[in-house]
Structure 1
Amino acid sequence: MSALDPVEIFRVEAAELLEQIEQGLLDLDQRLDDREQIDSVFRGLHTLKGSGAMFGFDALAAFTHHCETAFDQVRKGHAPATRELVAAVLAARDHMRALVEDPSGDYAGQETALLSQLHAAIQVGAIQVGATQAGATRVDAPQAGAKPQATPEPPPATADTAARQWRIRFALPPNAMVNGVNPLAYLDELRELGACEVSIDDSAVPPLDQLDPTALHLQWTVRLETEHGRSEIEDVFLFVVDDMVLEIDEMGAWPLEALSPAPAPVESKAEAPATPQQAAAQPTSPKTAAPQAAATPPKTARRSVESVRVPADRLDELMDRVGELVIAQSRLSQIAAAGLNEELRAVSEEIENLSNELRGTMMVLRMVPVGTLFERFRRLAHDLQRETGKQIELVTEGESTEMDKTVIERLADPLVHIIRNSADHGLETPEERQAAGKPPAGRITLAARQSGGEVIISVSDDGRGIDCARVRAKAEANGLVAPGQVLSEKEALHMIFQPGFSTAAKVTNLSGRGVGMDVVKKTIESLRGAIDVESWPGEGSEIGLRIPLTLAIIDGLLVRVGGARYVIPLAAVEECLELSLEDDAKSRGRSLLSLRGSLVPFLRLREIFQTGSPPDPHQKVVVVATGAERVGLVVDQIIGDHQTVIKSMSKLHEDVETFSGATILGDGSVALILDIVNLVAVRQDQEAQMRAIA
């Protein structure tokens, strides 16, 4: 993406506006009388419409106008906010996103259906408000692509809404046009409220040799005759009122030429660069100060926190460079340690410190809170509730837990499948829940927490749980297990991740085709993660995803097994012990260590890797943990800590589950990175086989 491409900047800002609109609608769905959320959704729609028109997205502006009109009627009390209206605008919001991504698509039929849904929702609400206001809440469902009307139809004039005269004086900050504000749009909106006359004060315009062509020096005084009240006039300036001077006075008849000049504009730092958000914001509509009869004192423009929007691919490229720097620094440290040059060692240590700091800074830049991911599923829960007819309450915990942005992006689809599975298979209908003594609304809890070098994300529900007997019967019917084969509860629960597996009695929009959960397994394994499943009949189930914090650079423990070197992720290491040849011989046949009163199983990496060489006299055991499981890994030598830049395995070796990647050492050789989750699973399989034999 070109950093200077205004269309791409608009698309980024439009995505943020659409997210804001969706979250506002979901909040409103919970509290239909929340005036703040009604205003928030209206402002988002209004800004999107104006920005779209400014950047040439005419179809978007025309379509968004109808949703904005509907919410304008709600704001003015001509129609209530209803769940039907929220659902209609949520569906329209999805269409707006399509218009942003592909404005040239053929959406005529889809737009007609969406506008009909919107029209029906607002009309039903208008009838509820009363016949007097029903005519004012009409939202015409025009043909797709039609240009938006200027404003909604005002209610008929009555004795209380007779035309009144207003004097409006306003001055925008000098950098208004630099930030994408068009003063003429405000004058057009005032004109739409009624007959008006405009007077311009150009007394603040400097001489030509001192004129800044990007600065705004004009001020306006408007005489307006309208049936609308003060609040409608204030709404014209809703988005810019905090950075401008605005006076609104109700007057009798007064001559335009007798007006005094408008007040001096608020001083603003014109040199402050416009943020992309400001650049994309069309002067549209808005919130203003409380009614005033006297001049409004100048307001100081709020200083926003400076930030820079950086394309994600540039961060990825920078991360690659940092990784190469870490490898080069490791080589330099090895050369310095092998020589006698003290100055070289000092420089090497300084570069190592700088490299560590740069790496830490880079990691922080890539970390984002999982709350940004969790927010997406509020909409999913809302849609699932309507699709299934079940009452669903989505609860989120640990939103501030941070993960690498790349990991978060890849977790979105797996979590969608898990949540849909919980809603369809896990939660019961309200009638079934009440019969079981449960509240009618089922709860799905989405939680995140950090544990060492990994984040555990769990999706739990308080539904019926997973029927292991039914899962086993389906697995046998599909030929996944042999009849009579011994399966532990854990193995049975993990059958739901097999390709083509489904226990649904019939195919629905949510499940029954045997796809979804196998995608979860593949994605989590590609992230070097693991899946835990627990279920309690009649009480619910929980699926936990254990994911590494980052996929780029980790701290590792470099070890030697035979003649080869390997890296163990340091976050998984609990402690290191010595294993003598005598103790090793005693443990043959049971492979267990007594560690402070508890038995810890261990694996001999020499045997797994088939080194073919005798063990060292003083072997070491590295105790690692994943979740509640602890396993010892027997190695010949512990070399020390190592900053590990993770490189992907080649396509020839990507199916080797024992390793999660590789890294380049300081001498240019390659060390494989052990997949701790897989090794723990290997040990569990060995124990299961021993129990079966016994």
Structure 2
Amino acid sequence: MSNLDPSEIFRIEAAELLEQIEQGLLDLEHRLDDRSLIDAVFRALHTLKGSGAMFGFDALAAFTHHCETAFDRVRKGLAPATPELVAAVLAARDHMRALVEDQFGEDPEEERILLDQLQRAVTGGAASQEPAAVAVAPVAIQAAPTAPADATTWRLKIVLPENAMINGTNPLTLLDELRELGDCQVKADRSRIPPLEHLVPTELYLSWDVILKTTHSRAEIEDVFIFVMDEMTLEMEEVTGAVAPVADASQASNVTVLPVPQAPVAVAETVPERAVPEIVPSQADVARQEAAADTRLRRKTESVRVPAERLDELMDRVGELVIAQSRLSQIAAGSMDVQLRTVSEEMERLCSELRITMMVLRMVPVATLFDRYRRLVHDLQRDTGKHIELMTDGESTEMDKTVIERLADPLVHLVRNAADHGLEPEADRVAAGKPGTGRITLSARQVGGEVIVTVSDDGRGINRDRVRAKAEAVGLIQPGQELSDSELLQLIFQPGFSTAAQVTNLSGRGVGMDVVKKTIESLHGTIDVSSKLGEGSTVSLRIPLTLAIIDGLLVRVGQGCYVIPLPAVEECLELSLEEDFRSRGRSFLSLRGSLVPFIRLRELFATGTQPDPFQKVVVVSTGNERVGLVVDQIIGDHQTVIKSMSKLHDDVTTFTGATILGDGSVALILDVANLVAVGQQQEAQLRAIA
């Protein structure tokens, strides 16, 4: 049984609804006449209001009601969808999120400003002729409007499921929404009420017959029941000619007439308080609302919500199982027992399948990350005064949820940097023959066990002269020091480095890019930068798919074993003793016409052992750079459960972690990016000497 607090359950649902609202508004900004988007935003607002009221978030429900009413006017054609309305509801959405996080943290002054902005957006900036259109009390029931002569008359039979009230549905609220649509006559049918000894207080036995005269369409009437439609019975019949009463109260003692209120009246005045059963929030209610909303809006695949920490715990257990299976395989390999070997092979197969399944459970599409930056770009347009278009590619690429969460902040800095530094003002772009609207592109693609996430723009590009001048001024490099283009561009990630002429609320302090570098390095990833002056820049982040279990190549150097991440391995070669002697002093390997520098790990790790007669070279790469690692023996593939290094080893850059082998010994995991950098430096030094 779940021990989650109902408020926390609601906050989880509210976060999803607020995300739907934001994405819908950002889409609507570009397609203001798209009725489906208007309806989607309205329904999300409606759900948020109803769920908030049910879980005791009264301030949120009251505030959300104003936005819902504004969008209802748009749905009914009483007001147009405008960029001003989208901006107003986006600002209101941020306030809703604050109310979700702090249930009792309403700010009357801030709400007044937001509601004034919303009122102006709905009325086009003019004085509102219908002030109640936005500022209407959320708990009041409006008097039924007089139906026009051309209104349609509908006869409805409403039968809700018996568990409707315990699942959070208030029938009176549904009837009140029907009354808001037009002239409405409601009669309650009590024929299903059982004898007192068989009555269950939490079950609903009433049904209703309704005659509704309205100008609204059938679909709009059905929208009232959108979240209970799949569980109820709703019969609708269009009536022509004279309308006969649904039932006569004087002839049927089991029918109760509910009068239509003639003036706004509180719910408590319509029905005695004892007639309204206590609504008990439950997890089942949240699940029901989510299922109904998903079915209506996106037809999602059914899913079960599981806390992330439980997945992390399960991943730890799978990792321990992989280690135990490795030990079993080692024991079976030294045994002549055929049955033991059979069981070991079966365990290896099952562990491999379980590991893959577990990895898939933690994978989420990159689209969940990219969608966050649509709002960021929307706000950056306002802050910079530039017209910016955000393009995305590869949204279906999947990554570990933990990795995606840690990538969120670095990408914020990269997008802001592209908007502020990369893209030129509109006048400069037009003068350079470019479109006035700048473009920022986010893309992702999987390459082996890595995902490459790129942030590119079509702006002015990076001015190398300014970068060099700034680096010399702050002492990062010596005047006139020779640097490759890649090394020069990497200087922008140094702490405190910025080429901005002045500090603004977007940039200028030299902090953002430093944060990017530190975060990517903590993810065992690398950063590549390319730029063409006048054409734009691209920053590529190479990130491992997961940080939990990886496929590795187990090698031996001296008496120690090490793991090389398998996605970084290109090929393995044999290095004979004669070739080893010939290469001393230059440490280059001729590989299909190109020279590849290599590092003797035995010397780097100072093992103090003699090399094996026939050493092996493992060629690894990051991006376009390659280096060979000379090892004594290649043992084979190894499912590597990554264990973090202690804080005492923070300054050890050659290794990214450790793993436990089948015999209980520890093998260190090599940091390929760092070793490639060492190899490239070695190559540069040898070329300088030559």
How many angstroms apart in 2 are the aligned matches of 1:77 and 1:558?
68
Deviation at 1:477, TM superposition (A): 1.8
After the TM superposition, which of the residue ranges 371-380 and 242-251 deviates more from structure 2? 242-251
| Contact 2:25/2:41, CA 8 A, preserved across alignment | yes
Q: 1:623 aligns with which of 608, 619, 624?
A: 619
**Hey, what's the Cα distance between the residues in 1 that align with 2:313 and 2:247?**
63
Aligned partners of 2:537, 2:643: CA distance in 1, in Å?
36
Residue 106 and residue 60 in structure 1: after superposition, are their counterparts in 2 closer, same or farther (change >3 A)? closer
Q: Structure 1 CA distance, aligned partners of 2:421 and 2:143? A: 48
C-alpha displacement at 1:321, in angstroms? 0.6
Q: C-alpha distance in 2, partners of 1:372/1:26? A: 15
TM-score (norm 2): 0.89
Contact 1:13 1:280 in 2 (8 A): no
Gap change, CA 1:141 and 1:476, over 3 Å in 2 = farther
CA distance in 2, matches of 1:618, 1:120: 80
8 Å CA contact retained: 1:180, 1:281: no
Closer, same or farther: CA 327–209 of 1 in aligned 2, 3 Å: farther
The Cα of 1:413 is off from its aligned counterpart by: 0.5
CA displacement at 1:102 relative to structure 2: 1.2
Match status 1:488 vs 2:479 = no
Deviation at 1:538, TM superposition (A): 0.1
Question: In 2, distance between residues paired with 1:319 and 1:287?
Answer: 34
Most deviating of 11-20 and 244-253: 244-253
Q: Which of 221, 232, 246 is residue 235 of structure 2 equivalent to?
A: 246
1:234, 1:287 within 8 Å by CA — same for their partners in 2? no
Give me the whole-angstrom Cα distance separating, in 1, the residues matched to 2:390 and 2:435.
Answer: 14
SS in 1 for 2:649: coil
Superposed CA deviations along residues 438-464 of structure 1, whole A, max 9, x for unmatched, are: 011111110000111100000011000
Is the 8 Å Cα contact of residues 182 and 282 (structure 1) preserved in structure 2? Answer: no
1:594 is matched with: 590
Displacement of 1:175: 5.1
User: Partner letter of residue 437 of structure 1?
Assistant: G
Q: Summarize deviations over 1:412-452 as a string: whole Å, max 9, x none.
A: 00001000000000011111111000011111110000111
Q: What SS class does the counterpart of residue 652 from structure 1 fall into?
A: helix
1:380 aligns with 2:376: yes
Q: Deviations over 1:59-114 (max 9, x none)?
A: 10011111111111111112111111111111111111111111122523322222
Q: Contact 2:146/2:182 (CA < 8 Å) preserved in 1? A: no
Q: Which amino acid aligns with 2:236?
A: E
* 2:472 matches 1:472: no
Q: Note if 1:308 corresponds to 2:298.
A: no
CA shift at 1:403, angstroms? 0.7
Pairing of 1:412-431 with structure 2 (within 5 A): 412-431=408-427
Contact between 1:10 and 1:280, CA under 8 Å: does it hold in 2? no
Query: In the alignment, is residue 168 of structure 1 matched against residue 156 of structure 2?
Result: yes
Counterpart of 1:595, as a letter, is L
User: SS in structure 1 opposite 2:597?
Assistant: strand
- Per the alignment, residue 198 of structure 1 pairs with 186
What's the offset of the Cα at 1:17? 0.5
State the one-letter code of the partner of 1:657: T
Structure 2: how far apart are the matches of 1:430 and 1:303? 41
What SS class does the counterpart of residue 247 from structure 2 fall into? helix
Q: Distance in 2 between matches of 1:74 and 1:518?
A: 46
The question of 1:188 aligning with 2:176 is answered yes
Q: Aligned partners of 1:397 and 1:226: how far apart in 2?
A: 46
Q: Would you say 1:685 and 2:688 are equivalent positions?
A: no
Deviations 1:101-155 (A, max 9, x none): 1112252332222222212222216x5xxx9xx624765569xxxx53647899x
Q: Kindly provide the amino acid, as one letter, of the partner of residue 208 in structure 2.
A: W
Instruction: Report how far residue 4 of structure 1 moved.
Output: 4.6
- Which amino acid counterpart does residue 246 of structure 1 have in structure 2? E
Change (3 A) 1:303 1:172: farther
Q: Which of the residues 129, 136, 145 maps onto 1:135? A: 129
- Deviation sequence 1:522-568 (CA, Å, 0-9, x none): 00000000000000000000000000011000111111111111001
Contact 2:24 2:40 in 1 (8 A): yes
Distance 1:500 1:138, change over 3 A: farther
Q: Distance in 1 between matches of 2:324 and 2:74?
A: 63
**Which residue does the alignment assign to 1:21?**
21
Give the AA of the match of 2:129.
Answer: G
**Who is 1:269 aligned against?**
none
Aligned equivalents of 2:618 and 2:291: distance in 1?
Answer: 61
Summarize the Cα distance change of 1:323–1:423 in structure 2 as closer, same or farther, 3 Å threshold: same
- After superposition, where does 1:52-63 map in structure 2 within 5 Å? 52-63=52-63
Give TM-score, length-normalised by structure 1. 0.88
Give, in whole Å, the separation in 2 of the partners of 1:483 and 1:151: 76
- Contiguous gaps of at least 5 residues in structure 2: 256-281
Q: State the alpha-carbon separation in 1 of the partners of residues 651 and 519 from structure 2.
A: 14
Describe the superposition over 1:279-323 as per-residue Cα deviations: whole angstroms up to 9, x where unpaired. 456999x999xxxxxxxxxxxxx9985421110000000000111
CA contact (8 A) 1:24 1:40 kept: yes
Distance in 1 (CA, whole Å) between partners of 2:143 and 2:208 is 27
Q: Partner amino acid for 2:176?
A: D
Alpha-carbon deviation of 1:203?
Answer: 4.1
Counterpart position of 1:509: 505
Within 5 Å, which residues of 2 pair with 1:257-268? 257=247
- Give, in angstroms, the shift of residue 44 of structure 1: 0.6
Question: Does residue 575 of structure 2 align to residue 575 of structure 1?
Answer: no
Q: 1:619 to 1:573 in 2, by over 3 A?
A: same
2:358 counterpart of 1:337 = no
Contact 1:204 1:217 in 2 (8 A): yes
Using the TM superposition, name which of 101-110 and 191-200 deviates more. 191-200
CA distance in 2, matches of 1:321, 1:587: 46
Task: From 326, 346, 355, give the equivalent of 2:351.
Answer: 355
Partner of 1:296: none
Deviations 1:352-410 (CA, angstroms, capped at 9, x unpaired): 22111111111111111111111111111111112111111111101111111110110
8 Å Cα contact 2:496-2:510 kept in structure 1 = yes
Q: Structure 1: which 5+ residue stretches go unaligned?
A: 263-272, 289-301
Find the aligned partners of 2:146 and 2:210 in 1 and give their Cα distance.
22
Contact 1:69–1:152 (8 Å) recurs in 2: no
Letter in 1 for 2:244: W
| 2:208 paired with 1:220 | yes
Q: Is the 8 A contact 1:530 1:545 kept in 2?
A: yes
Residue in structure 2 matching 1:458, options 449, 454, 461: 454
Amino acid at match of 1:135: Q
Instruction: Tell whether the 8 Å contact from 2:99 to 2:106 is kept in structure 1 after alignment.
Output: no
Contact 1:119 1:138 (8 Å CA) reproduced: no
Secondary structure in 1 matching 2:11: helix
Q: 1:176 deviation in Å?
A: 3.9
